[in-house]
Structure 1
Amino acid sequence: MIVALIDSGFGLLPTSACLRRLRPDLDLMLSMDPAGSPWGPKPSDWVIERVITTARRAVDRGADVVVLPCNTASVTALDHVRADLGDAVPVVGTVPAIKPAAAACESVAIWATAATTASRYQADLIAQFANGSEVVGVACHGLADAIDRGDRAGASAAIASAVERTPDDVQGVVLGCTHYPLVADTIAAQLPTGVRLFDSAEAVAQQTLRRIDALGRESTGSGRVEVFLSGARGILPAGARAFAAGRELLGTAPNPIG
Structure 2
Amino acid sequence: MKIALMDSGIGLLAAAAAVRGLRPDADLVLSSAPETMPWGPRTPEDVTERALAVAEAAAAHGPDALIIACNTASVHALPAVRARLEPRIPVIGTVPAIKPAAAGGGPVAIWATPATTGSPYQQALIRDFGGGAQVTEVPCPGLADAVQWADEEGIDRAIEAAAALTPRDVRAVVLGCTHYELVAERIRAAVQQPDADPLVLHSSAGAVAAQALRRIGEDAQAGPGARGRLTVLLGGREDALPKEALAYAEGRDLQALSHAG
Give TM-score scaled by structure 1 length: 0.92
Q: Is the 8 A contact 2:31 2:235 kept in 1?
A: yes
Q: Distance in 1 between matches of 2:202 and 2:55?
A: 28
Q: Distance in 1 between matches of 2:52 and 2:250?
A: 26
Q: Distance in 2 between matches of 1:154 and 1:55?
A: 29
Structure 2 match to 1:153: 153
Task: Give deviations 1:105-162, integer Å, cap 9, x for gaps.
Answer: 2210100000010311000000001101000100011111110011233212211111
Structure 1 match to 2:9: 9
From 232, 236, 247, the counterpart of 2:237: 232
Structure 2 match to 1:202: 206
Q: Tell me if 1:213 matches 2:220.
A: no
Structure 1 match to 2:186: 186
Task: Give deviations 1:12-65, integer Å, cap 9, x for gaps.
Answer: 000000111110100000011112111111111111111122222222222221
From 247, 250, 255, the counterpart of 2:252: 247
Give TM-score scaled by structure 2 length: 0.91
- Could you tell me which amino acid in structure 1 is paired with residue 183 of structure 2? V
Structure 2 match to 1:117: 117
Q: Is the 8 A contact 2:138 2:162 kept in 1?
A: yes
- Could you tell me which amino acid in structure 1 is paired with residue 31 of structure 2? S
Q: Aligned to 1:226, what secondary structure does the other structure show?
A: strand
Structure 1 match to 2:177: 177
Range that drifts further, 244-253 or 157-166: 244-253
Range that drifts further, 49-58 or 8-17: 49-58
Give the length in aligned residue pairs: 250
Q: Is the 8 A contact 1:33 1:230 kept in 2?
A: yes
Q: Distance in 2 between matches of 1:107 and 1:141?
A: 22
Structure 1 match to 2:222: none
Q: Aligned to 1:114, what secondary structure does the other structure show?
A: coil
- Could you tell me which amino acid in structure 1 is paired with residue 216 of structure 2? I
Q: Is the 8 A contact 2:4 2:30 kept in 1?
A: yes
Question: What percentage of residue pairs aligned between the two structures are identical?
Answer: 50
Q: Is the 8 A contact 1:2 1:221 kept in 2?
A: no
Q: Structure 2: which 5+ runs fail to align? A: 220-224
Q: Distance in 2 between matches of 1:57 and 1:164?
A: 40
- Could you tell me which amino acid in structure 2 is paired with residue 203 of structure 1? A
Q: Distance in 2 between matches of 1:222 and 1:159?
A: 35
Q: Structure 1: which 5+ runs fail to align? A: none
Q: Distance in 1 between matches of 2:192 and 2:3?
A: 38
- Could you tell me which amino acid in structure 2 is paired with residue 233 of structure 1? E
Q: Distance in 2 between matches of 1:243 and 1:86?
A: 32
The RMSD of aligned alpha carbons is 1.7
Q: Is the 8 A contact 2:3 2:65 kept in 1?
A: yes
Task: Give 4+ residue runs of structure 1 displaced > 4 Å after superposition.
Answer: none
- Could you tell me which amino acid in structure 2 is paired with residue 227 of structure 1? V
Q: Is the 8 A contact 2:146 2:152 kept in 1?
A: yes
Structure 1 match to 2:51: 51
Q: Is the 8 A contact 1:225 1:252 kept in 2?
A: no
Q: Distance in 2 between matches of 1:221 and 1:33?
A: 29
